[in-house]
Amino acid sequence: MELILLKNLDRVGDKHDIVTVKNGYGRNFLIPQGLAIIANTSNLKKLDAIKAKEQAEEDKKVSEYQAMAAKLEGKTLKIGVKAGATGKIFGSITNVQISSQLREQFEIDIERKKVELPEEIKEIGTYTAQVNFHPTVKGSIDFELVQE
């Protein structure tokens, strides 16, 4: 069964993707929950209009994103982690933790998918994460891992 996703779903696809799923999953879960619609010809025609409308709304938010990027400029996010005597942390830092700490410390709500980490972070130190607010607006945030 081919469906058009209306929201981002882990392990299925991103918003507005056309995906093929098993009939039961589509009929019994995705469609009744309002997460997807059937990918027929009329809905495919509507998809272009929906994408254009959402792109226009996103373009209006560019100034907001630029203000957020300016607010992050030059600031350092401090994240407390548990670590061993050698400075190696237990577990690793992910974009989910960066996003939640930005919300807590600077009151900036950024979707986790917009935060990119340069490499896998496994030791205490200072790192830089890339934040892709919009295709035209990119920012970066320095974050420091400190031992709790």
Domain with 131 in it: what CATH number?
3.10.430.100
Q: Are 115 and 129 a contacting pair, CB within 8 Å?
A: yes
- The pTM (predicted TM-score) of the whole model is 0.64
- Give yes or no: residues 88 and 118 share one domain: yes
Report pLDDT digits (tens) over 92-109.
888 899 999 989 988 888
- Give yes or no: residues 112 and 46 share one domain: no
Rounded distance between C-alpha atoms, residue 41 and residue 108, angstroms = 40
- Give yes or no: residues 25 and 85 share one domain: no
Lowest-confidence segment of 12-21, 58-67, 88-97 by average pLDDT: 58-67
Q: Are 39 and 3 a contacting pair, CB within 8 Å?
A: yes
Q: Cβ of 63: how many Cβ atoms within 10 Å?
A: 10
Residue 81, amino acid: V
Here the CATH number for the domain that contains residue 33 is 3.40.5.10
Residue 27 pLDDT greater than 90, yes or no:
yes
- Sign for the CA dihedral angle at 12, 17, 23, 25 comes to positive
**Count of domains for the chain:** 2
- Give yes or no: residues 85 and 112 share one domain: yes
Residue 69 pLDDT greater than 90, yes or no:
no
pLDDT score recorded for residue 104: 92
